[in-house]
Chains A and B, each alone.
Chain A
Amino acid sequence: MKGTKKRIAGWLAAIAFISTVVGGCGSGSGSGGASPSSSASKPADGEKVTIRFAGIKTFGEDSWTELVKQFEARNPGIHVEVHQLPPPSKSTEIHQYLVTALSSGQNDIDVFTGDVVWVPEFASAGWTEAMDDYVEKDQYYPGVIEALTYQGKLAAIPWYVDGGMLYYRKDLLEKYGRPVPKTWEELVETAKLIKEKEQNPKLEGFLWQGKQAEVLVCDFVEFLTSAGGAIVDENEKSVINSPETIKALSFMKSTLDNGISPKSLLSYDEEPSRTVFTDGNAIFLRNWSYVWDASQDPANSKVAGKVGVAPLPSFEGGKSASTMGGYQFMVAKNAKNKEAAIKFAQFLSSRESQLYYAKKVAFSPTRPAVLEDEELRKESPFLTELADVFNGTVARPVTPKYPQISLKLQATVSAALTGSLSVEKAVEMLDRDIQAILN
């Protein structure tokens, strides 16, 4: 009997122990916060000024090492401590980290990268330093400068812009003598034809991103704008309850219903849709510019050399639209060493830094001059060819309350796509909810 009791006590102790361990791990994991990367956190010399930079991960652990090294060599008095943020696909987590860090008033970061959609929110909260005096505005595309300006003040230094574009299988279109579609109707027709002739049950017609996430809003804005609709007008009034929205949303749903797009797309964000395409299992794909590099690497792509890129189609009579994405550099209002922080941001936005990123990960530069580089034109011809797409991108609603609007859009558009709400009901709800947020 005594033995049994001891054993029980042992088991209970084990359970208690495990629950602390497991509980401990579980609670910490949700925060995709930043940790100083070991390579960059050398102790600073007595005379050196240290600036803290929170930058997204763009291609690997050493995303910033090279540029930081160059900067420090040129500015011996400044030491840059890099806090690595997650990649842009984790934008929700990055946003939360930045909001928490900036609103706490703890002065943890001096310079940081942020999505272009957060600029109005951060600027209206007074977290960012106005950059008007530190940027030669005429060196950048005017559209970018406009997107980063909130209430007449430039709130960020441009880094790169991104936009949705249409990737297609050059080989398949050639095989059946079809042109690159200019309208959504044409795209559906072409996809249907090729699917029918190819007789490959694994081949999907058209992939986009239907997961309840930020990217769904980006896709939605493209369909909506190319139908001639909009979400919010310049007076911050909701204009979403329109025949154009119903047309766009019905089209998105129809691609799922008529089998042009697989139902599994409802759980796709960027990467899952990219893998299906680069595995050779789709004719058309809507995605960001990073897919170009990913599709050209024969080690990871079965369609290297068979891929073309074009502006996204539009509805009959509409205009092709691409959602503006991309990260920008911002300097915190209460940065400790503001002068050094601004200097670093200027360096990251310089022509040579932008060229470095264009070559390394095909990030579309915000300075037109970067595209004059001969080597770059040869390596990533689409950066030049699609320069108009990148710089004519449509902004998501420009308001400090965008995050709230985005959450409503994600849930309600997702509900319309899965059929738990009718398209008409969804549009009505969105109109009411968005108006309530803006009031």
Chain B
Amino acid sequence: MKRSRRHRGAVLTGYLFLAPSLAILTAIGFYPVVRTLLLSLYDATFLNAPSRFVGLGNYAKLLDDVWFHLAYRNTWLFTAVSVALETAIGLSFAVLLDKRLPGRKWVRASVLIPWAIPTVVSASMWQWLFNADFGFINYALERLHLISSYPNWLGDRASAMWAVIIADVWKTTPFMALILLAGMQTISEDIYEAAAIDGATSLQRFRLITLPLLLPTLVTALLLRTLDAFRVFDLIYVLTGGGPANATEVLSSYAYKTTFSSAQVGYGAAMAAVMAVSVLILARVLQYVQRRAYGRIEGG
């Protein structure tokens, strides 16, 4: 009896200590989410007109909005292709940087440069590189006799998304490479030595040692990058503004325009809600994969 009361006291004290952080979490995490969800049920605008409760009206409107559907597809396309490329290239960079090559410290530091440049700056840079009339890319391709007329990379529906993906891969591959490199360096040299003595080729060592032991790191990096790519905004905002013909419009940029340019706050909130749910599902799937990956390491 006495003991349980003391126990209850201890629990209470525990909650007391937790209270400040719970309060902060509620204020900055919980409140905005609830407020956004509530807003999405009203036809709210920035203008002073009183907003009307419309139930799921905004969501019904989303089903009917062809530009929203396009933005949704574009977001998945951008996320899937850019993350796949970043992982593949990042992994090969990591393997290269893991080797004991002369000057590798310098190479490692310089690989970081694209990642260290603010996205807005690198997006403006790519805008000039892709410029149809004065851009370096067209100039270089022409000098190499690969093109005879200047394609308009950012103004053509077919190529604009690829241009955006290339710019993103350039910027974010170093992040992937460094995380994977860090993961590789935790793998003990002994295992490689033992394998070498057993006569494993370098390809076998990569496939049978590096890759499985790197898996948890790889999945974590993948999780971070995928969630990041899904909410891409600044790169697209600066590079193409979502055009041409909404070919590069993604969920973040479309929700932003809806909310701030056309002042449809309620409708924008509904978009944000759909986006949040999509991210949540994506995160759960990736977390499941992550647990499986760790399980394999521990089990094996």
Query: Smallest CB-CB separation from B181: which chain A residue?
Result: A11
Tell me the minimal C-beta distance from A95 to chain B in angstroms.
7
**Candidates B46, B67, B112, B119; contact of A26 at CB < 8 Å:** B119
Q: Does A89 make an interface contact (CB < 8 A)?
A: no
Q: Which residues from chain A contact B112 at a C-beta distance below 8 Å? A: 14, 18
Q: Bound state CA distance, A199 and B118, in angstroms?
A: 44
Query: Smallest CB-CB separation from B115: which chain A residue?
Result: A18
Tell me the minimal C-beta distance from A400 to chain B in angstroms.
7
Contact between chains at A15 and B241 (CB < 8 Å):
no
Tell me the minimal C-beta distance from A4 to chain B in angstroms.
5
- Please count how many residues in chain A sit with their CB below 8 Å of the partner chain's CB atoms: 53
Q: Does B294 make an interface contact (CB < 8 A)?
A: no
Contacts A266-B152, A267-B132 given; does A415 touch B245 at CB 8 Å: yes
Per-position 1/0 for B219-249, Cβ under 8 A of A: 0000000000000011001000111111101
Stretch from A118-126, A145-153, A220-228, A286-294 contacting the other chain: A118-126
Q: Does B31 make an interface contact (CB < 8 A)?
A: no
Contact between chains at B260 and A99 (CB < 8 Å):
yes
Per-position 1/0 for A375-417, Cβ under 8 A of B: 0000000000000000000000000100110110001001101
Q: Bound state CA distance, A213 and B243, in angstroms?
A: 9
Stretch from B79-87, B182-190, B204-212, B283-291 contacting the other chain: B182-190
Stretch from B139-147, B153-161, B270-278 contacting the other chain: B153-161
Contact between chains at A267 and B261 (CB < 8 Å):
no
Contact between chains at B46 and A407 (CB < 8 Å):
no
Query: Smallest CB-CB separation from A281: which chain B residue?
Result: B133
Query: Smallest CB-CB separation from B154: which chain A residue?
Result: A267
Q: Does A12 make an interface contact (CB < 8 A)?
A: yes
Instruction: State the total of A-B contacts with C-beta under 8 angstroms.
Output: 132
By CB atoms of chain B within 10 A, which of A7, A406, A415 has the most? Answer: A415
Q: Does B116 make an interface contact (CB < 8 A)?
A: yes
Q: Does B150 make an interface contact (CB < 8 A)?
A: yes
Q: Does B47 make an interface contact (CB < 8 A)?
A: yes
Interface residue SS majority, chain A: helix
Contact between chains at A25 and B120 (CB < 8 Å):
yes
Contact between chains at B261 and A95 (CB < 8 Å):
yes
Q: Does A264 make an interface contact (CB < 8 A)?
A: yes
Q: Does A193 make an interface contact (CB < 8 A)?
A: no
**Candidates B47, B152, B186; contact of A8 at CB < 8 Å:** B186
Contact between chains at A213 and B47 (CB < 8 Å):
no
Contact between chains at B47 and A103 (CB < 8 Å):
yes
Q: Which residues from chain A contact B261 at a C-beta distance below 8 Å? A: 92, 95-96, 403, 407
Query: Smallest CB-CB separation from A29: which chain B residue?
Result: B120
Q: Does A263 make an interface contact (CB < 8 A)?
A: yes
Q: Bound state CA distance, A429 and B246, in angstroms?
A: 15
Contact between chains at B47 and A414 (CB < 8 Å):
no
Contact between chains at A404 and B245 (CB < 8 Å):
no
Q: Which residues from chain B contact A213 at a C-beta distance below 8 Å? A: 241, 243
Q: A29-B234, A211-B244 are in contact. List 20 more A-B contacts (CB 8 A).
A: A11-B178, A18-B112, A18-B115, A21-B116, A29-B120, A92-B261, A96-B260, A96-B261, A99-B46, A99-B263, A100-B46, A100-B260, A103-B47, A124-B47, A125-B49, A212-B244, A263-B132, A406-B262, A407-B257, A411-B249
Chain A to chain B: the 4 pairs with minimum beta-carbon distance, closest first: A212-B243, A267-B155, A264-B132, A266-B155
Which A residues fall within an 8 A CB radius of B?
1, 4-5, 7-8, 11-12, 14-15, 18-19, 21-22, 25-27, 29-30, 92, 95-96, 99-100, 103, 121, 124-126, 210-213, 262-267, 276, 400, 403-404, 406-407, 411, 414-415, 417-421, 429
Which B residues fall within an 8 A CB radius of A?
46-49, 66-67, 112, 115-120, 132-133, 150, 152, 154-157, 175, 178-179, 181-182, 185-186, 188, 233-234, 237, 241-247, 249, 257-258, 260-264
Pull 22 A–B residue pairs with CB atoms less than 8 Å apart, ordered by A: A1-B188, A14-B112, A18-B115, A22-B116, A95-B261, A124-B47, A125-B49, A210-B155, A211-B241, A263-B132, A266-B152, A266-B244, A267-B243, A403-B262, A403-B263, A407-B258, A418-B156, A418-B157, A418-B247, A420-B245, A420-B247, A429-B66
